[in-house]
Amino acid sequence: MFGEPISMVTGLFLMLALGLALSFEFVNGFHDTANAVATVIYTHSLKPWIAVIWSGLWNLTGVLVSTGAVAFAVVALLPVELVINVGSGAGWAMVFALLISAILWNLGTWYLGLPASSSHTLIGSIMGVGIANSMLSSHVFGEGVNWAKAEEVGSSLLISPVVGFCCAGLLLLLAKALIKRPELYAPPDPEKGPPHWIRGLLILTCTGVSFAHGSNDGQKGMGLIMLILIGILPATYALNSADNQKDISAIVANAQAAQPVLQKHAPGDPITPQAASEALSAFLKTTGTASDTTFAALAEENSVLAGQLQGKTKFADLSRDDRKTVRTEMYLVQSAIDKLVKQKKLPDSTEKKQLVDLKKGMEHAMKFIPNWVKVAVAVALGLGTMIGWKRIVVTVGEKIGKSHLTYAQGASAELVAMCTIGAADYFGLPVSTTHVLSSGVAGTMAANRSGLQMDTLRNLLLAWVLTLPVCVFLGAATFAAGFYIVLALGLR
């Protein structure tokens, strides 16, 4: 599994970090996925123990078939200097701060039965780490946070509950207009289950939400696990061992084709590799702006990278240290190209295509998830779904609306949640299952004029509003504590 020898101390450290990452996904399972089973339990479509096992299995399946896009979207929020030096003491302080603060908040809100967002929790922790790192490293305040990516992710987290509320309410009204089946809109009979066709519909939507949750939320843990593995075991996990001679040759060919483009935009004397690395790191920060130096740095890193990979048939041909170096160079080059494209600094379509082709080849070499990581995260998330679900289920099923959840309300909320989360997964955006589904339930209650329990809604809103600032504080505090411990031990 690990592919390279490690000391006992390093092995223990690795096990602790992986254990925390899997614990985050376990807590995420019973905290978030309880939303998926609330409707089938409260409409008596499935017995609770069957529902949670069924949901757990489909969460597991969703993780296994996920693309990894969300995993690396989350990693992109981290401070660039900590990502490229994740094996350093400060890098480990970052990883542990993220996991500890996210787990603490998730457990606290679960204990209170509040469906808070694990996505908000993790992203708040990431922002806290970035802010603390900028202060402790004497950078500009907040420079360590990728604010552009944070805005993109934050928008998806803010918009998705509105989509859930409005679309679920509209879907319920549409169903009432088109499907004249009174049993759909009446409270379930506690003495018997629903008709078979309604049961099938609700089980289908529960399955879809569970699958979508696994494919989206499960990736957050994958991204953190990959950071851990790259830091401790770079020889095995820094680069995709599945890439063959054809893949590596394509990267070299694209790098050589892109070199004239980069040199064209970089007049003046070339710069040293060290200066190039520093220039690209500065450009990738929030305050970084493109200049001739940016293109000169890209040209230098690109040239060095092409030279290192020239004639290689597989990444294993590189030494352990060289694999880590090559990954750092690839990360800087592809991230810089991505930022240049987004800032529209490459107006010529031919030049843009050449650089994008280079970026895609590097992403394939770096952005990969080993099967065993997917399986481990899938099992943790699936087991979490089967344990500790009841507190959140009671809130969603009983405390949002003033009347019992009907079959049509449950199906409408889950169908909208399934589609919204699936779309977010396709576009590589982390969204909150909690926000989408509980908002969907509230939307159906409003559309049905069933009444809303304002005390519960106030608590939910308070949890949603507090999650981000509290986790920013927790992330910053735990990172600062870890950072000073690293300094005291001389490990930085």
**Sequence ranges of the domains in the chain:** 8-235+383-489, 241-366
Give Cα separations from 197 to 38, 50, 59, 169, 201 (angstroms): 19, 18, 24, 22, 6
Q: What is the pLDDT of residue 60?
A: 82
DSSP state of 168: H
Average pLDDT, the chain: 79
Cβ atoms of 79 and 449 closer than 8 Å: no
Q: pLDDT confidence of 397, banded at 50, 70, 90?
A: low
The one-letter amino acid at 149: K
Q: What is the pLDDT of residue 210?
A: 83
Asked if residue 303 has pLDDT above 60, the reply is yes
Spatial separation of the C-alpha atoms in residues 337 and 87, rounded to whole Å: 25
Q: What is the pLDDT of residue 457?
A: 65
Residue range 46-93, pLDDT digits in tens: 887 888 888 888 888 888 887 777 777 777 777 776 776 666 677 778
Asked if residue 491 has pLDDT above 60, the reply is no
Q: What is the pLDDT of residue 34?
A: 64
Using a pLDDT cut of 90, give the percent of the chain over it.
Answer: 2
Q: What is the pLDDT of residue 50?
A: 85
Q: pLDDT confidence of 392, banded at 50, 70, 90?
A: low
Spatial separation of the C-alpha atoms in residues 165 and 403, rounded to whole Å: 17
Cβ atoms of 151 and 64 closer than 8 Å: no
Q: 452: which strand partners?
A: 401
Q: Across 95-109, 375-389, 400-414, which has the greatest mean pLDDT?
A: 95-109
- Chain centroid to Cα 348, Å, comes to 33
Q: What is the pLDDT of residue 404?
A: 66
Give Cα separations from 92 to 84, 85, 201, 480, 481 (angstroms): 12, 9, 46, 12, 12
Angle at which helix 433-447 crosses helix 390-398, to 10 degrees, equals 20
Instruction: Decide which of 89 and 396 is more confident.
Output: 89
Q: Which two tokens stand for residue 84?
A: 């490229």
Spatial separation of the C-alpha atoms in residues 334 and 336, rounded to whole Å: 5
Residue range 336-366, pLDDT digits in tens: 898 888 888 888 888 888 889 999 888 888 8
**pTM for this structure?**
0.77
Q: What is the pLDDT of residue 436?
A: 77
**Mean pLDDT, rounded, for 405-434:** 77
Spatial separation of the C-alpha atoms in residues 469 and 439, rounded to whole Å: 21
Q: Tokens 């909150």 correspond to what residue? A: 432
Spatial separation of the C-alpha atoms in residues 378 and 29, rounded to whole Å: 10
User: Within the chain, how many helices (H) and strands (E) appear?
Assistant: 20, 0
Give Cα separations from 488 to 13, 392, 492 (angstroms): 18, 42, 9
Instruction: Decide which of 199 and 427 is more confident.
Output: 199
Asked if residue 388 has pLDDT above 80, the reply is no
Asked if residue 216 has pLDDT above 60, the reply is yes
Q: What is the pLDDT of residue 238?
A: 81
**Mean pLDDT, rounded, for 319-343:** 87
Q: pLDDT confidence of 328, banded at 50, 70, 90?
A: confident
Q: pLDDT confidence of 452, banded at 50, 70, 90?
A: low
Asked if residue 137 has pLDDT above 60, the reply is yes
Instruction: Decide which of 2 and 366 is more confident.
Output: 366
Q: What is the pLDDT of residue 88?
A: 67
Residue range 243-258, pLDDT digits in tens: 778 888 999 999 998 8
Q: pLDDT confidence of 141, banded at 50, 70, 90?
A: low
Q: Please choose, from the candidates 280, 329, 339, the residue with its C-alpha nearest in 3D space to the C-alpha of residue 306.
A: 329
